Amino acid sequence: MSIRLLGIETSCDETAASVVDGGRAILSNVVASQADFHAQYGGVYPELASRMHVESITLVVEQALVAAHIGWDDLDAIAVTYGPGLPGSLLVGLNYAKGAALATGLPLVPVNHLEGHLYAHWLDTGAEGSASGNLRFPVLALIVSGGHTELVLVHDHGKYERLGGTLDDAAGEAFDKVARLLKLGYPGGPAVETAAEKGSPKAIDLPRAWLPGTYDFSFSGLKTAVLRVHQKYTGPVPQRFYADMAAAFQQSVVDVLVEKAGSAVKEFGPNALLLSGGVSANTALREAMRSAISVPVCTLPKVLCTDNAAMIAAAGFFRYQAGERAGWDLDIDPGLQLI
């Protein structure tokens, strides 16, 4: 019997809704990105993000139902992100979901955004390199996004052991800040990746924060090192510099992520490494992981790396199956952790 969940995601600057059947089959996946709008500010402008969610949410949810060829009566539950994220943005999705649950009588399932990034690997993607839910626990998960860098051992559904995380900037945040510094464009990750294609990673020597003996990360020193090298130019900066710096910076981030994930694979012997979050869309990272790691490295189509609601419906499905239901007192939790 099919169990269909409507997922709703508004934790940052994407208004997203999706219908997923059985936690695996994506019937629709609608994402309204505000990225072009926030580009003029070089980063997400929180107050405007929440206003734009208000403008888009009804239409995005309707589109998700239409694209899935179903109506509200065909749904079994509504899964919604309640944290972590921007407070104003989270409130829009959560309140919309509560209103819809009240009006339809559908149960409401609370979803942690980070768990959503992880459960994207249970979706049927049809893409090469994707697990599509064919996984045996334990698995190691690296969640690398604009807000988080988390290395987590997953022992079973919902059973997590956090090995480490960033002590300062998230990996995606470092990409965004460096892109802004070098005026490469927004969002920073894809802009740095494109610039790096024409550069040489060895042309500029940048530091790597190895933090030996831990599974923690630090990217703020790297960002400062980029700034220092850039400031050395008093006259015009040669065009070549931007490509080389993008390549050197990207390589530095990739080296650290690969080293830490590789050590964790050796120490804990997981059956696979799952790469999630916006930064996992990075081709250099995927390739470096695949050549260095001894277990299968599972990746996602880019649309499922960055924020989307299919992953929220997928995570919600497992919570729904476990009997989890939110009461009307469910509130946003902007600082929510995975464990």
Name the residues that contact Zn ion, by CB under 5 A.
Answer: 145, 307
190 is a contact residue toward ligand KG4 (CB under 6 A): yes
Alpha carbons within 13 angstroms on the beta-carbon side of residue 329 total 0
Binding mask 303-332 for ligand KG4 (x = CB under 6 A): ---xx-------------------------
193 is a contact residue toward ligand KG4 (CB under 6 A): yes
CA distance 123 to 98: 25
176 is a contact residue toward ligand KG4 (CB under 6 A): yes
Binding mask 2-31 for ligand KG4 (x = CB under 6 A): ----------x-------------------
Near ligand KG4 in 251-290, by CB under 6 A = 277-279, 281-282
Least gap, CB of 326 to Zn ion (angstroms): 20
89 is a contact residue toward ligand KG4 (CB under 6 A): no
Residues 117-155: b if buried by 16+ CB within 10 A, e if exposed: bbbbbbbbbeeeebbeeebeebbbbbbbbbbbbbbbbbe
Q: Select from ligand KG4, Zn ion, none the partner in contact with residue 249, using the beta carbon and a kind-dependent cut-off of 5 to 8 Å.
A: none
Least gap, CB of 175 to ligand KG4 (angstroms): 4
Cα 316-102-112 angle, rounded to 5 deg: 25
Tell which one of 23, 88, 147, 270 touches ligand KG4 (CB under 6 A). 147
Comparing C-alpha atoms, which of 87, 147, 71, 75 is closest to residue 116?
Answer: 147
Least gap, CB of 236 to ligand KG4 (angstroms): 28
Helices (H), the chain: 35-38, 46-67, 87-104, 113-119, 171-181, 188-196, 220-231, 239-268, 283-292, 302-305, 310-321
Nearer to ligand KG4, 110 or 147 (CB): 147
Bond before 138 cis per omega within 30 degrees: yes
Least gap, CB of 34 to Zn ion (angstroms): 14
Nearer to Zn ion, 199 or 278 (CB): 278
- Residues sharing a CB contact under 8 Å with residue 198, sequence separation 6 or more, in sequence order: 243, 247
- Asked if residues 103 and 33 have their Cβ atoms less than 8 Å apart, the reply is no
187 is a contact residue toward ligand KG4 (CB under 6 A): yes
Least gap, CB of 205 to ligand KG4 (angstroms): 21
**Residues forming beta bridges with residue 275, ordered by sequence position:** 142
93 is a contact residue toward ligand KG4 (CB under 6 A): no
172 is a contact residue toward ligand KG4 (CB under 6 A): yes
